[in-house]
Amino acid sequence: MQEERRLAVLRAIVEDYVATEEPVGSKALVERHSLGVSPATVRNDMAALEDEGFITQPHTSAGRVPTDKGYRLFVDRLSTLKPMSAAERRAIASILDGAVDLDDVVQRSVRLLAQLTRQVAVVQYPTLSRSTVRHVELVALAPTRLLVVLILSTGRVEQRLVDLETPLDDTQLADVRSRVGRAAVGEIIADATTSLRDIVPPPGAAGAQAGDAATLSALAGVVDTLVEAMSDHRSDERVAVGGAANLARFGDSFDSDVRPLLEALEEHVVLLKLLGEATTGSNLTVRIGHEGPYQELSSTSVVATGYGPRDEAIARLGIVGPTRMDYPGTMASVRAVARYVSRILDEG
C-alpha cells in the first residue's frame, strides 16, 4: 500500500511539473489530486521519494521536481498510454493518406509527429539493406529502349532506362520479365542481387549458346541496371527532422539544453544513434536523460519505435525533447504514427 501510494504521489508530481513547468509542493498536490491522505502523509511520502532519488528540490524552500530516475519509474509503471483523441486520429489519417511516394510519407510523418507532440521529430528513411523486392516491371518505350521499374517493400520506387543493342518483340520481353521476376521478387536485396547475377550465363557458356541472343543481351542489361539500383545505399543514413522551433519552449535554459540539441540536429549520424537500432517488431523505447548515448544531451529524452511492413522494423522514428515531457501522450503519438506509416507501406 505504501509503495503504491508513493507511486501515486510521484505520478502526481510528474504530471503537475510537466503541466506547470514549476517545482511541485505538497500543498498543491493535496489541492489538485485526490490522493486520499493527509498533507502530512504526502510530505512524508515526498521526503521518502527524495531520499530514494526519485525527486529533488532544486532550491531551498521550493517544491520538488522529478529526476531521471523518477521519470524512469513513472514510464515503467505506466499501465496505459494516453488515448488518442478522435481529432488526432483524423489528423493522422488525413495527413498521411495523401502521401504520393516514400519521400512524401517520411516528410509528412515528421511534420505530423512534431505537431502532435510539440517536440523535435526525427524519422529515418527506410534502410535499403532491409528491403525486399516487391515487384519488377519492364516497359517497352521504343524497340530498343526499356523502362525498368523496381518497387521495394519500403515503398521505394527506382526507375531506370536500358538501351538495347537489338530490338525485342513482345514474346522476348515477356521472357526477360519472367526470368527477372522469378529471380528477384520476394527476396531481400542481398539475395536478389545474387539471384539476378546467376540468371545471366557467362559468354561461351552452354546457356549462352542455347539462348536467344537478343533476349540474353537484354537480360544482361536489365540485370546490370537492377543490381546497380539495389546497390544504391544513399538512403541508409538519411533522416528527416521537423519541429525544431518547438525548442523555444525550453525557455531560459538555452545554453545548457537547446544549443547542444540544435547542434545534434545537424548531424544525422548522431540522430540515428539517438533513435537506436531498428529491430523486428514495433516495441517503443524511451531513453531518459543520462540513459542516452551523449552526455551533452543528458537533459533530453528520446521516445522512438520501429516501423515497416508486416511488423518488420526497416527504420525508426521518434521524438527528442526535454525530460520534462508528457510521456503518456508522446508515447501514444509516436506509436500511432509508426503504426499508420507501417500500414501504408504494407498496402503500397
What is the full DSSP assignment across 185-226? Answer: TTSBHHHHHHHHHHTSPPTTSHHHHHS-HHHHHHHHHHHHHH
Return the pLDDT at 206. 52
Domain boundaries 2-76, corresponding CATH code: 1.10.10.10
Q: Which fold has domain 130-234?
A: Enolase-like; domain 1 (3.30.390)
Per-residue pLDDT of the chain (348 residues; tens, 9 = 90+): 688 889 999 999 999 999 988 899 988 898 888 888 888 999 999 999 999 999 998 877 678 999 999 999 999 998 777 888 888 888 888 888 888 777 888 999 999 999 999 999 999 988 776 678 989 999 999 989 999 999 887 777 889 999 999 898 999 999 999 999 999 998 988 899 999 999 988 765 555 444 578 888 899 999 999 998 887 655 557 889 998 888 877 666 666 667 777 888 878 788 888 888 755 556 889 999 999 888 888 888 999 999 887 777 778 999 998 898 999 999 999 999 999 988 887 775
Of 176, 182, 305, 314, which Cα lies nearest the Cα of 235? 314
For the chain, domain boundaries: 2-76, 86-125+238-347, 130-234
3-class secondary-structure state, position 61: coil
pLDDT tens, 74-124? 999 987 778 888 888 888 888 888 887 778 889 999 999 999 999 999 999
Contact call for residues 154 and 344 (beta carbons, < 8 A): no
User: DSSP string of 101-128?
Assistant: SHHHHHHHHHHHHHHHHSSEEEEEPPPG
Which pTM value belongs to this model? Answer: 0.76
Q: Does domain 86-125+238-347 have CATH number 2.40.50.100?
A: no
Query: 56: burial class by Cβ within 10 Å (0-12, 13-18, 19+)?
Result: middle
Q: What is the pLDDT of residue 210?
A: 44
Cβ 135 vs Cβ 170: under 8 Å: no
The CA distance from 182 to 21, in Å, is: 60
Angle ∠(107,264,156) on CA atoms, nearest 5: 30
